[in-house]
Amino acid sequence: MNDCLYEIEIIRSRRRSKAIEIKPDGRIIVRVPLLTTNASARRFVEQHSEWIEKHMAKVQAAAQAPVEPLSEAELKAIVKQAKKIIPERVAYYAPLIGVDYGRISIRTQHTRWGSCSAKGNLNFNCLLMLTPPEVLDSVVVHELCHRLEMNHSKAFYAQVLRVFPDYKKWDKWLKTNGNAIMRRVTG
């Protein structure tokens, strides 16, 4: 029984709530608690069809907007700048959060802004240098807070907001503008 208007990918995990995510390529991801049936996930999607249509239009408009690709020289300069600035921001926020960390890697990534390994190694996208400084700080705080909580629970976000109260504002900025920035290296 596949009467859902949209093609969806269902991801089950140890979460309490349901959530819908629209990927830049237009895929719809539905995150649900482990015991959620496919029918229940589809109903959830149908109940949020207006929201999906609105956000799909934004995703499609962003995907069609022209972007100026970065030259090799520009990308090298961005990487150099990131290798200087990002470790400084990590060193600033780590004591405020009360955590230590391992190695810091700066990469040109096509889908992620940052990550934190179980060993405390941090990875950051050099393209953060093309965002407002508050966005960079929000990503740094997000990844450092994973040293306290290796998940995206309420407790995790409580730690993020404790240190960076404007996190939601700048996370929204990144969700709205980030794909266009990443497309500068992916074309």
Which amino acid is present at 154?
A: K
Residue 3 lies in a domain: no
Residues 28 and 98 in one domain: no
Average pLDDT over residues 119-128: 96
Residue 110 pLDDT class (50, 70, 90 cuts): confident
Q: What is the pLDDT of residue 69?
A: 87
Residue 2 lies in a domain: no
Q: What is the pLDDT of residue 2?
A: 44
Average pLDDT over residues 124-136: 97
Q: What is the pLDDT of residue 64?
A: 67
Residue 15 lies in a domain: yes
Q: Which of 115, 104, 95 is nearest to 163 (CA)?
A: 95
> Phi first, then psi: what are they for 122, rounded to 5°?
-110, 135
Predicted confidence (pLDDT) at residue 72 exceeds the cutoff of 70: yes
Residues 156 and 172 in one domain: yes
Residues 55 and 23 in one domain: yes
Q: What is the pLDDT of residue 98?
A: 97
The predicted model scores a pTM of: 0.72
Domain extent at residue 55: 8-64
Domains contained in the chain, number = 2
Window from 4-8, 37-41, 122-126, 160-164 with minimum mean pLDDT: 4-8
Q: What would the two tokens of residue 8 be? A: 């969806």
